[in-house]
Structure 1
Amino acid sequence: MIKIFRYLLFSLFAFILFECQSQDKVLILYQGNYTEETKYKILNSDKSQFAEIKSVDGNEPSCSKLKGKILAYFDDYYIFHFRAKQSILPNYFEVQIGSVLKLIEKSNTMMLLSLEDYILKYYCSASKQNPLKISPNEKSKSISVNFEDVGFICLEIKGDWVKVKCNKECESCPNGKNIEGWIRWRRNDKIILKQYYNC
């Protein structure tokens, strides 16, 4: 009986560990004390090299294989963001590139964030397709704003919605009004929020 209990306890622990490792996160490169020589190798599952992000001839780092296939790619600003999770292999993350998973070795120039913390880290905007709402509900009334001119700071997450307020430090608030509302940031596990990574 004790053996069975121990087996069940171990199985439960293994299941919880697997679930924690499988949680979807975002991996951000070029954080902390990186230099112009900092580079990252993207590996296949057998650890053969798939691609490399690096600087060439003193230019900003780049990697043509990643363009249009990762969460955010703006090489002019050292922005390389991946949907990611902990790998079962020690010292590696699994990163999503297109529809496949690749490996990247852990480094102190990376930051791994939950999806929610990632959304709260950056600025955003509303759009006609994803308007600003009074409350976090599709049926809620939309708030009329000039989508081209008004940027927002993200304040808090509630389910698939993020509460925002107009960004006084960048685009400023129209007519000096402190506009607040809700924008949907996720639909069907896909990030649909239009984000800005610099003011």
Structure 2
Amino acid sequence: MYNQDMTPFCKIEKNEEGDPVCEKLKGKIVSYYPSWSIITLFSRDSNKEYMEVEVGGTWKLLNKKSIHRSCDLRNFLQSLWYTPQLGDSLYSLDRKSIKKVKKSDMTFNIIDVQGDWIKLKALNNPSCYWFRWKNNCRVYQDRLMYE
């Protein structure tokens, strides 16, 4: 991965278990689960050879040959589950009232995406809420779960 001026930013290498690792990415991208071989970044097309990827609010360059899979944000988020943490704010459908999460054993499907907001539907009842999953470049990745 390179800075915009093509100076090296970081190298994603495989550890002893064969998992991709780069400590410079931890906490600065959408999701970083090297033990599951998952590194997820926001991206936009740059040119034939490179994709721009967001790391900590700045755009870096990643060679397209090193990209395993690419999908649009809506489809990616709708393939995940949301599991809240105590104290998270869930907003009503009109986003005017707030419900604070009091127990963290709930799981939601992500049924819609609008910018920094995801629309949630509870798995065990018909309740729907909005949650702000991203605030500028800070992503609440510990709440987004893979199947």
* TM-score with structure 1 setting the length: 0.59
Judging changes above 3 Å, is the alpha-carbon distance between structure 1 residues 134 and 44 closer, same or farther for their aligned structure 2 residues? closer
1:123 Cα deviation after fit: 0.6
* Corresponding position of 2:55: 97
* Corresponding position of 1:195: 143
Q: Is the 8 A contact 1:123 1:152 kept in 2?
A: yes
CA distance in 1, matches of 2:25, 2:115: 30
Does residue 83 in structure 1 map to residue 42 in structure 2?
yes
Aligned residues: 144
Bigger shift: residues 183-192 or 62-71: 183-192
CA distance in 2, matches of 1:186, 1:95: 19
1:43 Cα deviation after fit: 1.5
Judging changes above 3 Å, is the alpha-carbon distance between structure 1 residues 193 and 48 closer, same or farther for their aligned structure 2 residues? closer
> Which of these two proteins has the greater Rg computed from alpha carbons?
1
Code of the aligned partner of 1:197:
M
- Kindly report which structure 2 residues correspond to 1:78-157, keeping only aligned pairs within 5 A, or say none: 78-87=37-46, 89-107=47-65, 109-114=68-73, 116-127=74-85, 128-131=87-90, 133-137=91-95, 139-140=96-97, 142=99, 146-157=102-113
CA distance in 1, matches of 2:130, 2:51: 30
Unpaired runs of 5+ residues, structure 1, are: 1-41, 168-172
Q: Is the 8 A contact 2:134 2:140 kept in 1?
A: yes
Summarize deviations over 1:84-104 as a string: whole Å, max 9, x none: 2111x3221111222322100
Summarize deviations over 1:55-95 as a string: whole Å, max 9, x none: 133332211121122221111111211122111x3221111
Unpaired runs of 5+ residues, structure 2, are: none
* TM-score with structure 2 setting the length: 0.76
Coordinate RMSD, CA, aligned: 2.8
CA distance in 1, matches of 2:122, 2:40: 25
1:187 Cα deviation after fit: 6.2
* Corresponding position of 1:45: 4
Higher relative helix content: 1
Code of the aligned partner of 1:196:
L
